[in-house]
Amino acid sequence: MEAVLGAFLQLLSAWFVLAFLLIVLPSVFGATLGISELYLRVLVKILEWATLRIEKGTRKLQKEKVKPSTSNVIIQRDQTTMEKAIAGLRCGDFELSDVFYFCKKGFEAIVEDEVTQRFTSEELVSWNLLTRTNVNFQYISLRLTVVWVIGVLVRYCFLLPLRITLATIGVLSIIVGTTLVGKLPNGETKDWLSDLVHLTCCRILVRALSGSIHYHNRENRPQRGGICVANHTSPIDVIILTNDGCYTMVGQSHGGVMGVIQRATVKASPHIWFERSEIKDRHLVTKRLREHIANKDKLPILIFPEGTCINNTSVMMFKKGSFEIGATIYPVAIKYDPQFGDAFWNSSKHNILSYLLRIMTSWAIVCHVWYLPPVTREEGEDAVQFANRVKSAIARQGGLTELPWDGGLKRAKVKETFKEKEQKIYSKMIIGNGTSSSGSEDLG
């Protein structure tokens, strides 16, 4: 028994030494040995082969008159407005046939509305050998199945232990490192060491995800005294951005391991963590943010204005709070490549541990980050218009769908004001005073 235990400890020690020498140590210097790049090139070749096999199998099924499903879209929507759909049929007065229009729209909203489908994983056109990413996959061939089984063994028996090892090293490093740095007196040395610890640990954590991050337009990277705003897909968005530069984080205080990390990092860097009761106080939040950006020597603030994770296909309504302060805004667009793994976190369905397990058993995390030119609030522009302008720029750059809806609908019901606006439009149509223009003005 002692011999088995000794052999196990030696194997574990060798595992940690190899992980440290081949991955952690190069991360400290921002270097790479090219292992991840080689892994991704091989993976791309395998996925290309799998795609060809799937296409060949699909053609065979079509010849057998078995039409495979290629999309999870159920409703083919008619984009006609209420005014055009109803008002053109008659002049004034209520007609019982109007009920059919509202029933149709009601069924569309119940079966498949454009909001809730943004909180489900993105459906892939071609299967990437991860069963959970394509519900429409059908058995194609024995060779493809064998490759999938080998992939499962590689992901769970090799990649998962390696990634857990690296994640453990990264988390322990940031807790210990920031705690030690936090004991130093304030000054340039402390700030430099704090940035070094954050950058190094985030690089290790990116390696733990087999991450391949492509940064574009780095001359536009956020500067001190400004606010960086980005679309939000996953908690790892923070790691992705901090891998290329340091930020002051703003968010709610947590318990557990996350709380330990928050309490450690705030000792070394001026992160802004709010208690649950405080974060609902907009005036307090705004005051804390104004105080931070007033000091041009402090790191840029990182904020995700959507307030929740969206599934990598869309950008939803930006909360106006961070756009009221008057600081320079540095927009950032983040787009993950779903071919290698689904980065979206559906917090309503998966807790953080199950989400991390899904991430760490994916092939890799590959994403593109675009730094957009800094913008400021224009004369005569209110905070909502400013937020929408920034949101539109991020959506265009990331190739994302721009939606006006509040991400809070993920858990909350539609506000009564939205219902009242539609009711007002219809009531004006009935009394004969409603037109497309009046409806638009009312919605504004």
Q: Using an 8 Å Cβ cutoff, are 384 and 364 in contact?
A: no
Q: Using an 8 Å Cβ cutoff, are 114 and 401 in contact?
A: no
Listed ranges 89-93, 191-195, 392-396; the one with the highest mean pLDDT: 392-396
In this prediction, residue 94 carries a pLDDT of: 59
Identity (one letter) of the amino acid at 407? G
Q: pLDDT above 90 covers what percent of the chain?
A: 16
User: What are 333's strand-pairing partners?
Assistant: 370
Q: Convert the pLDDT of each residue in 42-57 to its tens digit.
A: 988 988 888 888 777 6
Phi, psi of 31 (to 5 degrees): -110, 170
Mean pLDDT of 223-227: 88
Q: Convert the pLDDT of each residue in 406-439 to its tens digit.
A: 776 666 666 666 667 777 776 776 665 444 443 4
| Structure tokens, 410 | 């993920």
Which of the four pLDDT bands, split at 50, 70 and 90, describes residue 281? low
CA 200 to chain centre: 22
Parallel, antiparallel, or unpaired: how do β-strands 227-230 and 301-303 relate? parallel
Mean pLDDT of 390-406: 89
Q: Using an 8 Å Cβ cutoff, are 122 and 338 in contact?
A: yes
Which of the four pLDDT bands, split at 50, 70 and 90, describes residue 294? confident
Mean pLDDT of 270-298: 76
In this prediction, residue 83 carries a pLDDT of: 56
| Structure tokens, 209 | 């995800």
The rounded mean pLDDT for the chain is 79
Q: Using an 8 Å Cβ cutoff, are 234 and 310 in contact?
A: no
Instruction: Tell whether pTM > 0.85.
Output: no
Is the confidence at residue 145, as pLDDT, over 80? yes
> Among residues 359, 427, 370, which one has the least CA distance to residue 395?
370
> Using CA atoms, how far apart are residues 178 and 296, in angstroms rounded to an integer?
22
**CA-only gyration radius of the chain, Å:** 26
In this prediction, residue 366 carries a pLDDT of: 92
Q: Using an 8 Å Cβ cutoff, are 344 and 406 in contact?
A: no
> Using CA atoms, how far apart are residues 43 and 51, in angstroms rounded to an integer?
12
Return left, alpha or beta for 380; rule: phi > 0 is left, psi -120 to 50 is alpha, else beta.
Answer: left
E strand segments, 263-400: 272-274, 301-303, 314-315, 329-336, 365-371
Per DSSP, 375 falls in state B
